Amino acid sequence: MSAYHPLHDGWTVTAVSSTRQHRPVVAGLAATVPGCVHTDLLDAGLIDDPYLDDNENRLTWIGRTAWAYETVFTWAGTEDGRADLVCEGLDTVATITLNGVEIGRTANMHRSYRFPVRHLLREGGNTLRVLFDPPYGYAEVQREALGDRPGAYAEPYQFIRKMACNFGWDWGPTLVTAGIWRPIGVRTWSTARLAEVRPLVTLDGPDGRVDVHVTVERATEAPLTLTASVAGVTGEARLAAGQRTAVVTLNVPRPALWWPRGHGDQPLYDLTVRLGADADGAGADGEWTGRIGFRSIGLDRTDDAFTLVVNGRPVFVKGFNWIPDDCFPSRLTRERLAERFAQAAGAGANCLRVWGGGRYESEDFYALADEMGMLVWQDFPFACAAYPEEGPFAAEVAAEAREHVARLSAHPSLAIWCGNNENIEGHADWGWQDDLDGRSWGAGFYYDLLPRIVAELDPTRPYWPGSPYSGSPDLPPNDPARGTVHIWTVWNTHDYTHYASYTPRFVAEFGFQGPPTYATLRAAVGDDPLAPDSPGVRHHQKAIDGDLKLLRGLGEHLPEPTGFDDWHYYTQLNQARAMAFGIERFRALAPYCMGTIVWQLNDCWPVTSWAAVDGGGRRKPLWYALRRAYADRLLTFQGDSVVAVNDTEEPWSGELAVERRTLAGEPIAKECFTVFADRRGTAAVELPAALREWDDQAGEVLVATLDGTRALRFPAEDPAMDYPAAEFDTVVEESAGGLRVTVTARTVVRELAIFPDRLDPRATVDDQLVTLLPGETAVFHVTGFGVRGLNTEALVRRPVLRCVNEAKR
């Protein structure tokens, strides 16, 4: 009989020692497991919420303190011959003792550990203690021993196997955690147990094949039977005495194929693997179940392209970069992940890139991706630094990579493994080589160790050494014409129209900042009044010169903001426009360009950042703009052309009408064109002179319409336009679960947005940034607010309802 005994109760945490003099006394504090020391201190009221104001600044002592977690648990004995302490995640440098005897030491947050403890367990009370050394102490010792290495931040994150952004990032606070961050418990078993199950799925024509690679751990050398079944097909393997590995191959005739969203359905099949009855370990450890999908995945590099090919079909990747959704990972529930996935899918995405400064994500994450058809690009956790390959690191990296390549192999959503984020670029372009003076920087991981592990354990997935990368170590890594590129000239130095100068193969990162929603910012910052440069707002901006770049980025596009409300609206709007501009450009380049991965979907706390969904889980105007730019069918003005982008399986054909009008709506010129954009194709129509030239640079608009999809082009930037003062009528009515707001424009109304979270932090709206031409109507649904309702007059007035025309007044 095998059994599992979770050990999540009765924990306390004690501050054992610290390299800083000033810290509170913390002894025997009630602790939550899984969890971390910050959340324990917070629950006990010993620290202020690190996400509010500048409280973060007063918590640096935590990462320089040793923390002891301890519990006493009752053990009733076991019939099983084996009992293992299973630690699914320890953060990070830990010494584990059971009843005073040391059973192991760990130094890698990204691994799980298993320690045999049957000989130490006593009937009755047992004391389990996990002592965490200060992460800084460990990292600094490694740095001292191995020699310093350059990195993007003055923190030693490359000297410890812990998620890098825990030490702070250009969107995240420095909150260096310690704790038992994933489940812990005792597992008992006999005879044998399934140590690893690695189902590798391939297609053979229309048929599916699953090679189930199994590794067992044995308590006895007896022969074993292994059974695997999926979709009504069962296979068996015999493990002879002492044999530890086996492969069961299952051939499934004509399975329904798994597709990324937007390309088909996501049928999932239950795969069950059992150790036979002759293993009395059958039970929890003798059985493995998972859900697999049948699909092939490849990377087409023909002529330096970077094209993901699923089931033989090239897929245009419409993605988001994903960062850890909370600084304290144990707070991430499946519900919260599901909300983020719904937000990514709602914006039209078919891919999430799990960025290398974070971690390998949870089972829930990949299960959601499988169910929703969200392709996962998985970085190995290395980012923005030269990483040492000596000391403990080669062995640690090999162990964690082996564990996760095997663990994630079952998930059809997992599309590609990537060696790191920006380390190859850093080494080539950021002056690291001088500082390194010949010391290792991780090349051995990205070019040798990691690809060998992927090839050995999961040859069904492509591997890419890093991003950006051009396909060969001797090529400039961030060459737009080869492989993947990260475009950061826009945001750092250039106006967003500079995206138009790029003709990339695949944009794996590009981003533009905007502040979080009002409700999120207001809840995080006590500043009164709120101002773009008030102390709390400034603290919640981590990027170098971020606030300056936000303002500079407005360029000629929008007026210089006076006061908080204009600043908030214009910078959010500019973020949305910048990213839509880039995406439209890159999608129009398909199939030369085959992917855009927006930096970034989410935040880990309330902050001004590149995210589309802020740290409070609220959608920024960017999200609504992306939903338009990522729509399956997109009409976009590019240079002298209108381009129809068709990311569907049906051709998109019809009559494209392009009309030049005055802002008041009077027609000046109009032409119609027959357009045919093939399935997953694009079609460009060059505009004749009458539609390319303006009579009045400040008073016209070009309107292109195809099949209910519309694109607008204004001749000049907003401050140079002769917009009339916006005139519109509003009707606010109750409707199921909320309010329906009908806006009818009497004049042109540019990028109208309602921000109901200013009236009630729970309230949301279903659309934003809608441009109306005279006579047009838009309907918005506002939901989520409390029973007392919303102030319906305030809802349709500044600063809740905004449009760009107001800039003129």
Least gap, CB of 315 to ligand BMA (angstroms) = 23
383 or 612: CB nearest ligand BMA: 383
Least gap, CB of 184 to ligand BMA (angstroms) = 32
176 or 741: CB nearest ligand BMA: 176
170 or 776: CB nearest ligand BMA: 170
169 or 570: CB nearest ligand BMA: 169
Cβ contacts of 787 within 8 Å, gap of 6 or more: none
Least gap, CB of 515 to ligand BMA (angstroms) = 16
Least gap, CB of 496 to ligand BMA (angstroms) = 15
Least gap, CB of 571 to ligand BMA (angstroms) = 16
191 or 609: CB nearest ligand BMA: 609
Beta-carbon count within 10 A of 560 CB: 11
410 or 507: CB nearest ligand BMA: 507
Q: In what order do the strands lie in the sheet with 245-252?
A: 192-204, 207-218, 245-252
Instruction: List, as one string, the DSSP characters of 567-627.
Output: HHHHHHHHHHHHHHHHHHHHHHTTTTS-EEEES-S--SSS-BBS-SB-TTSPBPHHHHHHH
165 or 246: CB nearest ligand BMA: 165
Taking Cα atoms as reference points, which of 456, 482, 466 lies closest to residue 427?
Answer: 466
* Cα of 528 vs its chain's centroid, Å: 33
Give kind and range of the element (H or E) at residue 408: helix 393-408
Query: Which pair of tokens denotes residue 304?
Result: 């330096």
Taking Cα atoms as reference points, which of 186, 247, 250 lies closest to residue 216?
Answer: 247
User: Among the residues of 673-731, which ranges form H helices?
Assistant: 689-692
d(CA 277, CA 283): 10
Instruction: List, as one string, the DSSP characters of 784-801.
Output: ---TT---HHHHTSTTTE
Least gap, CB of 608 to ligand BMA (angstroms) = 12
Placement of tokens 């370990």 in the chain: 281
Query: Which pair of tokens denotes residue 209?
Result: 């094949």
156 or 199: CB nearest ligand BMA: 156
549 or 633: CB nearest ligand BMA: 549
Taking Cα atoms as reference points, which of 785, 798, 793 lies closest to residue 519?
Answer: 785
356 or 536: CB nearest ligand BMA: 356
Q: CA-CA distances (angstroms) from residue 92 to 355, 380, 417, 613?
A: 20, 17, 24, 29
d(CA 294, CA 284): 26
447 or 488: CB nearest ligand BMA: 488
Least gap, CB of 224 to ligand BMA (angstroms) = 46
Cα R_g (the chain), whole angstroms: 28
Least gap, CB of 183 to ligand BMA (angstroms) = 30
Q: In what order do the strands lie in the sheet with 633-638?
A: 633-638, 641-646, 681-686
Least gap, CB of 171 to ligand BMA (angstroms) = 6
Least gap, CB of 159 to ligand BMA (angstroms) = 18
d(CA 378, CA 416): 6
- Site of interaction with ligand BMA (CB under 6 A): 169-171, 357, 383-384, 421-422, 509, 599
d(CA 571, CA 553): 8
169 or 316: CB nearest ligand BMA: 169
CB 752 within 8 A of CB 803: yes
d(CA 638, CA 635): 10
12 or 489: CB nearest ligand BMA: 489
80 or 379: CB nearest ligand BMA: 379
Placement of tokens 């009818």 in the chain: 744
d(CA 137, CA 133): 7
Reduce the DSSP state of residue 121 to 3 states and report it: coil
Least gap, CB of 491 to ligand BMA (angstroms) = 8
Torsion angle of alpha carbons 549, 555, 560, 565, nearest 10°? -60
Q: Residues 599-628, buried b or exposed e (16+ Cβ, 10 A)?
A: bbbbbbbbbbbbbbbbbbebbbbbbbbbbb
Least gap, CB of 353 to ligand BMA (angstroms) = 10
Least gap, CB of 601 to ligand BMA (angstroms) = 13
CB 686 within 8 A of CB 668: no
422 or 614: CB nearest ligand BMA: 422
d(CA 752, CA 150): 46
Least gap, CB of 574 to ligand BMA (angstroms) = 17
169 or 294: CB nearest ligand BMA: 169
d(CA 741, CA 234): 57
d(CA 708, CA 61): 58
Terminal Cα distance for the chain, rounded? 77
d(CA 127, CA 105): 17
Least gap, CB of 431 to ligand BMA (angstroms) = 16
Least gap, CB of 447 to ligand BMA (angstroms) = 20
d(CA 245, CA 240): 10
56 or 379: CB nearest ligand BMA: 379
Least gap, CB of 151 to ligand BMA (angstroms) = 11
Least gap, CB of 355 to ligand BMA (angstroms) = 6
524 or 597: CB nearest ligand BMA: 597
Taking Cα atoms as reference points, which of 433, 505, 436, 503 lies closest to residue 469?
Answer: 505
